[in-house]
Structure 1
Amino acid sequence: MNRRRGHGAVLYAVAALVLAGGTAWWWSAAPRASGDPRLLDWRQNAEQLLPDAGDQSVASTVAMGAGSGHEMIADIPGGNGTFLISVVCAGDSGSRVRVSLGGDESGRGVQCSGARTPEILSVALAGELHMRVNVDDVSPVVFRYTLQRMND
Structure 2
Amino acid sequence: MTDPTVLLRGAGLRSTAPRRAVLEALITRPHSTVTDLSQAVDGQLSNQTIYNALDDLANSGLVRRIEPAGSATRYETRVGDNHHHLVCRSCGVVADVDCHTGEAPCLTPASSNGFARVDEAEVVWWGICNTCAARPQG
- TM category (shorter chain) comes to under 0.3
TM-score, with normalisation over the residues of structure 1? 0.25
**As a proportion of its length, which structure holds more strand?**
1
**As a proportion of its length, which structure holds more helix?**
2
TM-score, with normalisation over the residues of structure 2? 0.26
Structure scoring higher RCO (CA < 8 A, sep ≥ 6) equals 1
